[in-house]
Each structure stands twice: as C-alpha cells, then as structure tokens.
Amino acid sequence: MNIREHVVLLVGGVGGAKLALGLSYILPSDTLTIIVNTADDFEHLGLYISPDLDTVMYTLAGLANPQTGWGIANDSFQAIEMVERYGGPAWFRLGDRDLATNLMRTCLLREGQSLTEVTQYLCTRLSLKHPILPMSDQPVRTLLDTDQGMLAFQEYFVHQHWQPAVRAIHFEGSEQARPTQAVSKALEQASLIVFGPSNPFLSIDPILAVPGIRQLIAQSEAPCVAVSPIVGGEALKGPAAKLMTELGLEVSPLGVAKYYQDLLSGIILDIADQHLCQPIEALGIRCTAQCIVMENLSDKVNLAKSLLDWVEDNLL
Ligand code: FO1
C-alpha cells in the first residue's frame, strides 16, 4: 500500500494545525484531508464561531497569529473594544478580520448552507486546496463537569483559563450527530490515518465520539498513527497535561498510547521521551522518537516528512 495515496489527519486546535501545515507542504491537495473538531464551536455575539476550523484555515492560508496560533496575525480589535464599551462580552478576543470570517460563516449558515459547504467556500476564497472538513454538520458541544459546575467549552477554556478542575467531559449532541459524507469517504479511502498533536480529550475524542468515526478508523486497513501532544510530561500548549492528571491518565506519551491503544498502530514521541518507546512497543504499538516540537515552518515540514518516512519503513 502506498501510504501517501490518501492521508487523513484528525486535528483540533493549534498543535494539530501546525502538523497540517507541514503535511500540506509535502502532500498534493488530493492526497491530504484534514478532519477538524467542531465541538468547541459556539454561538457568541450572535455569530456562529468555529475556532478549530478557523485555526486550521488561517494556518494553511499563512494568516494565523504566530504567537497565539488562533485568530489572524496583526489583527486589530476595534469592534470587540466597542462591544466592551457597550458592556458586552469581550473576554473572547475576536479580531476585526477574524470577525469577517465569523460574519460570513453565520450569514451562509443562515442561508441554509451546511458547515461543510461554508467551510469549503471560505477555504476556496482563501485559495486553500487541501480539504478542511468539519467532523459533522450536526452540532456537537464539549461540556465539562468541573468543580465550578458544568461549563461550556469556551467558558472553561478561555473565560476561566482552563483552571477549573475537571471531573468528566461530555459531548452534547454526539448521539444525534453523524460524520459528513466527505468525512466518511475520506476515512474509507484512507491509506494512513494520523491523530495530530492535539488534546486527546478536547480535540480528538470529540471527533471519535461522532457515531461511526471510531468504527471507520478501527476497521480501516490503513495504519493509524498519533503524534504525541505531551513532551517530557508537559503539554506543548493548553490543558492536556492538567486534564490527563485530573482524569487519571499518566501524563506522558505512554499515557496517550494507552488511551488510544485500541486504534493505534504507532505513535511518534519526542526525543525527550525516547525511554518510553520500549513500554509503548510492549503494548503492541510501534514507536519512534523524533524532534516533534514545531517552532517554525521547517520543523513542521520535517516532522511531516519523518512521520511519513517512518510509517513507510516500519508500519507496512
Ligand atoms: N483562545 C484564548 O485563550 N483566548 C481568546 O481570547 C481566544 C479568542 C479566539 C477567537 C477566535 C478563535 O477562532 C479562537 C480564539 N481562541 C481564544 C482560541 C480558542 O478558544 C481555542 O483555539 C479552541 O477553541 C481550542 O483549540
């Protein structure tokens, strides 16, 4: 099997978007599909906001704010500052150009287009070629059961700076949701499935919670490989390490490998964690240690290259 025939990447926010960019530099647009978490989406200020879709879209378009990973580089914040002056919610920092994306998405959704159609339209207008697919066109929303009560995702992640202690995570609406046709087709035709370096609980799990997606991956002939979101016991960004502790997982690539054990053929971890390759291989999951911290474009492309080369040389 030529694993480069149709690579399907599952991602959430910033970390996954970096690997998507690296892969997009290597793989032609008809051989790389990116499936994105939509459980962080929410209605805010009358707009339908899809943070992870926007992060992937802006990253591939070279528009993303390099410091934060989300929003648009050098964006102004005049509109949200005016909202604040009127006493409206300004905790979710929507930039002025970012606002345009969300205004267009909201208008097109209101005209009856699906989230998949809207995303494809916006990507086309940004001259993006690689398909960026919402996991579902039905609403799935991450809800967190915390010591501050039940919190919607953005309230937990942004407004409360992911400080509340999490006891459980729910994906409201997942039972009624189904994968889009494009997502099902991509997974059915996949030659390689990759879990990006995204938060297992908040970015990958919501995608796997859409009925049918986990089964499509489990029954696929394609190898399934994860890039560890944890390096040296720390998350590169966001609450992954804190959540793993709160939810009782070992905060390491070994903890991640155990968590996905039933789906994974292999995992790529950082050199800093190479001592964990042996216990991971003992689980029956192939393992390789590479430099997986992506600071600049060449890091992203190099990780994408070494991932594909490693799979070709070891997982076929
Ligand atoms: N994350 C923050 O931590 N603070 C923000 O003010 C913020 C604003 C924001 C605006 C648009 C957007 O698409 C994303 C934004 N994010 C912000 C990131 C977002 O909450 C997360 O990227 C995802 O939901 C989790 O990956």
Residue with tokens 């911290």: 293
Whether the Cβ atoms of residue 37 and residue 52 lie closer than 8 Å to each other: yes
Does this model's pTM top 0.75? My answer is: yes
Q: Is the pLDDT of residue 222 over 90?
A: yes
Answer whether 223's CB lies under 8 Å from 192's CB. yes
Kindly report the protein residue whose alpha carbon is nearest to atom 18 of ligand 1.
70
CA dihedral 3, 4, 10, 11 (to 10 degrees): 140
Least confident of 134-138, 149-153, 178-182, 241-245: 241-245
Sign of the alpha-carbon torsion through 289, 294, 296, 301: positive
| Tens of pLDDT, residues 187-199 | 999 999 999 999 9
- 316: pLDDT confidence band, cut at 50, 70 and 90? confident
Q: Which atom of ligand 1 is nearest to the CA of 51?
A: 13
DSSP state of 13: S
Distance 65 CA to ligand 1 centre (A): 11
Measured in Å, residue 47 CA sits from the centre of ligand 1 at 14
What pLDDT does 116 receive? 98
Mean pLDDT, range 250-255, rounded to an integer = 94
Counting atoms of ligand 1 from 1, which one is nearest the CA of 154? Answer: 20
Number of H-type helices and E-type strands within the chain: 13, 14
Give distance in angstroms: CA of 174 to centre of ligand 1: 22
Query: What pLDDT does residue 176 have?
Result: 98
- Looking at ligand 1, which residue's alpha carbon is closest to its atom 25? 13
Residue nearest atom 12 of ligand 1, based on CA coordinates:
51
Say what the pLDDT of residue 47 is: 98
Share of the chain above pLDDT 90, in %: 97
Contacts of 163 (CB under 8 A, 6+ apart): none
d(CA 9, CA 301): 15
Answer whether 154's CB lies under 8 Å from 192's CB: no
Pocket of ligand 1 (CB under 6 A): 12-13, 40, 51-52, 54-55, 70-71, 92-94, 98, 154, 157-158
Q: Helix, strand, coil shares of the chain as percentages rounded to 5?
A: 45, 20, 35
Amino acid at 241: A
Provide the 3-class DSSP secondary structure of residue 314: helix
Summarize the confidence of residues 84-107 as an average pLDDT: 98
What gap in Å lies between CA 271 and CA 280, rounded to an integer?
Answer: 14
The answer, yes or no, to whether residue 233 has pLDDT greater than 90, is no
CA angle 296, 298, 304 (to 5 degrees): 110
Residue 306 has pLDDT above 90, yes or no: yes
Q: Are 39 and 15 in contact (CB under 8 A)?
A: no
Pocket of ligand 1, candidates 14, 40, 45, 158: which has the most ligand atoms within 8 Å of its Cβ, to mutate? Answer: 158
Summarize pLDDT for 173-183 with one digit per residue, the tens: 999 999 999 99
Over the stretch 20-62, which tens digit does the pLDDT of each residue have?
Answer: 999 999 999 999 999 999 999 999 999 999 999 999 999 999 9
What pLDDT score was predicted for residue 46?
A: 98
